[in-house]
Amino acid sequence: MTENLPPPSAAQLQRRKELRTNYTQMMFGDDTRGRLLRATAVVVSRHGTRACTVQHILDQADLSRRTFYKTFSSLEDALNSLYQVSVRVLDQTMRVAVKRARTPLGKVIAALDTYLEMQIIGGPLITALQREATYVNSPLAEHREALVENFVELIESELMPVATLPVDRDIALSIVCVAEGLVSWTGHKGRFGDQDRVRIRSSLVTLLTRTFGIPEAESAPIKTLE
């Protein structure tokens, strides 16, 4: 039950504030591009990436088709731009959170926390964009791959040097894919919420500590989100 969830920590609330601020500033400007991106975000939240159309966006933005095609070359271009900004917001906020963390495990979990917070902030929009990015032929795929690669590199640089069990890059990649899969499955079943965040976070912290042979005690302070 959601009433049994622990109250958000100060760091968690700060992370949410930063995500919301960065999301608004970077995605929703007042110029024509910003209006179109804002309209695209609303339409994708309602219809998903496969059912939305340029006309849906025009109706939402109250702009002409000519204006749309002066800004974006196609619907796919608009979707790609929307996801690119979302990934940039996530990456920027994640880097700040990682810098604040004090331990190797803390840095990885700080990145994970930011990723999970993004699911709550982005709601159906981020769920739809992430699902589209899993298609190999989608223009969004390259941004997802870059995000995955950054996460893998963080695990490699922070946890591999302190691991007490044998690990390699494929194991790091597997953990990132597990995180992505759990989020995707949860988003497919319904809106991602705090209860989902806590559950997935707990599972992944356990996976990280046991895979890399890090004592469980080292993960305990991280529960308050450094």
Residue ranges per structural domain of the chain: 2-27+81-224
Per-residue pLDDT tens digits for 117-161: 999 888 899 999 999 999 999 999 999 999 999 999 999 999 999
Check: CB of residue 89 under 8 Å from CB of residue 121: no
pLDDT computed for residue 217 by the predictor: 52
| Mean of all residue pLDDT scores within the chain | 88
pLDDT(36) > 80: yes
| Confidence grade of residue 27 (pLDDT, cut at 50, 70, 90) | low
Q: For residue 25, is pLDDT > 80? A: no
- pLDDT, residue 101, reads 92
Q: What is the per-residue pLDDT for 226?
A: 37
Say whether pLDDT at 1 is over 50.
Answer: no
The whole-number average pLDDT for the span 162-186 is: 95
Q: 58-111, pLDDT tens digit by residue?
A: 999 999 999 999 999 999 999 999 999 899 889 988 998 999 999 999 999 999
What percent of the chain stands above pLDDT 70?
89
Least confident of 40-49, 114-123, 157-166: 114-123
- Say if CB 36 and CB 71 are below 8 A apart: yes
The single-letter code of the amino acid at 73 is S
Q: What is the pLDDT of residue 28?
A: 66
User: Quick one: pLDDT at residue 26?
Assistant: 65
At the top level of CATH, the class of 2-27+81-224 is mainly alpha
DSSP the chain: -GGGSPPPPHHHHHHHHHHHHHHHHHH--SSHHHHHHHHHHHHHHHHHHHH--HHHHHHHHT--HHHHHHH-SSHHHHHHHHHHHHHHHHHHHHHHHHHH--SHHHHHHHHHHHHHHHHHHHHHHHHHHHHHHTSTTSTTHHHHHHHHHHHHHHHHHHTGGG-SS---HHHHHHHHHHHHHHHHHHHHHS---HHHHHHHHHHHHHHHHHHHT--GGGGTGGGG--
pLDDT at 221: 42
Mean pLDDT of 28-55: 91
pLDDT of residue 17: 81
Rounded CA gap, 206 and 103, in Å?
A: 16
